[in-house]
């Protein structure tokens, strides 16, 4: 991925040079050769490099490319202005093709044209129309299981002494955003909890899927949608700092045990707040997801009228829905009608009324298909 980032930076530098200087200037040719050199390196072991813009994210070969700074952001803006959201660089691309592409991007009046080894186009974002994304709709359980395994890997490595692997989470979030474009039935994307030991990371995956799907239906896009997905994946991370005996207890919790588990939002928020580069929604949602819409949940705050952030409200509904439909050590799973009744009855108190109605409608639409 480092080479991809260098390629993106070099491409933007080349575009800037082409804007400032004539095509005969040595800097223009030198920067184009640098772009070609990095492309050749990337294409040594594959036939093409696929660059796409999904919402406002750069995606290379279906993997989100982060930390590209101003270069990545400016490239996204430049391509969007030209009406382009996908570029395929094929093996065998020539200096002439690269130079022409750079020149066309630098010229305000010209839209880049495809050439034999460089294809430009648009990514369709309507449901079920991303035919070229490598997600098999006939085998969604395998795909969601793969994403859950990635979350398991991240969760297994969480400790006060290790840095959180944000890149793994970002890849999962972008993967789900791509999947939403092809599969409209949200229930097909949820993973079953096969054992008590799997619950934490399987639940995290499902809450992320449900929260992003809610957000999309509300018209939320781009970076905020991405950040909600990350925050939802990490909302319960504080439970990793709670005794497993308490988490997996089959009977009722005593006061001391409930006090311990009710501290997990605080544990999670403190852990996530220390991580550089992580969306600020992550510690916020970790802290707020059990506070309830009317503020009667936990942790209690001595601030009258302080509401959950809207993203925490979204995640809270997803959290309760998936928790109740999942098998737990202390109870069996609930059927869908019973779970939806809890969401409906909690509207206005535990949950935002509008969001609860939106969520219920979303699930009922999925069950009717």
Q: 48, 89 in Cβ contact below 8 A?
A: yes
Helix pair angle (310-325, 353-367), 10° resolution: 40
CA distance 69 to 66: 8
CA distance 64 to 172: 9
Structure tokens at 280: 């600020």
CATH code: domain 137-367 is 1.10.3210.10
Domain extents in the chain: 2-121, 137-367
CA angle 66, 67, 69 (to 5 degrees): 125
Each residue's pLDDT, cut to its tens digit, for the chain (369 residues) gives 789 999 999 999 999 999 888 888 999 999 999 999 999 999 998 999 999 887 677 888 878 787 777 888 889 888 888 888 889 999 999 999 999 999 999 987 788 888 999 998 865 433 333 333 344 445 555 556 777 787 888 887 777 666 677 767 877 887 787 777 666 677 777 877 655 567 778 899 899 999 999 998 898 888 888 899 999 999 999 998 888 888 878 778 888 988 999 999 999 999 999 887 788 999 999 999 999 999 999 998 877 667 899 999 999 999 999 999 987 766 778 888 999 999 999 999 999 999 999 999 999 888 776
Bridge-based pairing state of the strands 57-60 and 118-121: unpaired
Question: In which order are the strands placed within the sheet that holds 57-60?
Answer: 63-64, 57-60, 48-54, 86-90, 118-121
* Torsion-angle region of 277 (φ positive above 0: left; ψ -120 to 50: alpha; else: beta): left
Q: 220, 197 in Cβ contact below 8 A?
A: no
CA distance 18 to 107: 9
**Residue 195: per-residue pLDDT:** 56
**Residue 360: per-residue pLDDT:** 94
Structure tokens at 232: 């939802």
Q: 65, 4 in Cβ contact below 8 A?
A: yes
Kindly report the pTM of this predicted structure: 0.63
Q: 288, 309 in Cβ contact below 8 A?
A: yes
């Amino acid at each position: 991925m480092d080479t991809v980032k260098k390629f993106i930076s070099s491409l933007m530098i080349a575009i800037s040079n082409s804007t400032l200087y004539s095509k005969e200037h040595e800097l223009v040719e030198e920067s184009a050769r640098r772009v070609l050199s990095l492309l050749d390196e990337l294409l040594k072991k594959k036939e093409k490099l696929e660059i796409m813009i999904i919402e406002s994210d750069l995606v290379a070969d279906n993997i989100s490319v982060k930390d590209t700074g101003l270069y990545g952001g400016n490239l996204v803006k430049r391509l969007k202005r030209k009406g382009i959201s996908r570029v395929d660089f094929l093996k065998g691309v020539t200096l002439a093709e690269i130079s022409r592409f750079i020149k066309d991007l630098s010229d305000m009046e010209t839209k880049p044209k495809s050439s034999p080894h460089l294809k430009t186009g648009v990514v369709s974002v309507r449901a079920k129309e991303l035919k070229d994304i490598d997600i098999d709709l006939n085998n969604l359980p395998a795909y969601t299981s793969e994403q859950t395994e990635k979350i398991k890997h991240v969760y297994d490595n969480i400790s006060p002494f290790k840095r959180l692997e944000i890149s793994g989470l970002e890849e999962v979030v972008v993967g789900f955003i791509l999947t939403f474009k092809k599969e409209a039935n949200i229930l097909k994307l949820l993973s079953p909890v096969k054992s008590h030991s799997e619950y934490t990371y399987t639940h995290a995956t499902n809450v992320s899927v449900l929260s992003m799907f809610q957000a999309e239906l509300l018209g939320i896009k781009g970076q905020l949608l991405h950040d909600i997905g990350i925050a939802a994946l990490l909302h319960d991370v504080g439970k990793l700092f709670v005794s497993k005996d308490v988490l997996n207890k089959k009977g009722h919790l005593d006061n001391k045990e409930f006090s311990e588990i009710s501290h997990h939002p605080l544990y999670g928020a403190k852990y996530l707040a220390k991580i550089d580069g992580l969306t600020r929604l992550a510690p916020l949602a970790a802290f707020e997801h059990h506070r309830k819409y009317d503020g009667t949940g936990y942790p209690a705050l001595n601030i009258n009228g302080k509401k959950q952030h809207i993203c925490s409200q979204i995640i809270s509904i997803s959290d309760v829905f998936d928790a109740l439909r999942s098998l737990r050590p202390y109870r069996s799973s609930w059927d869908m009608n019973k779970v939806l009744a809890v969401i409906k009855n909690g509207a206005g108190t535990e949950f935002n009324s509008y969001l609860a109605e939106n969520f219920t409608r979303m699930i009922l639409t999925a069950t009717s298909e």
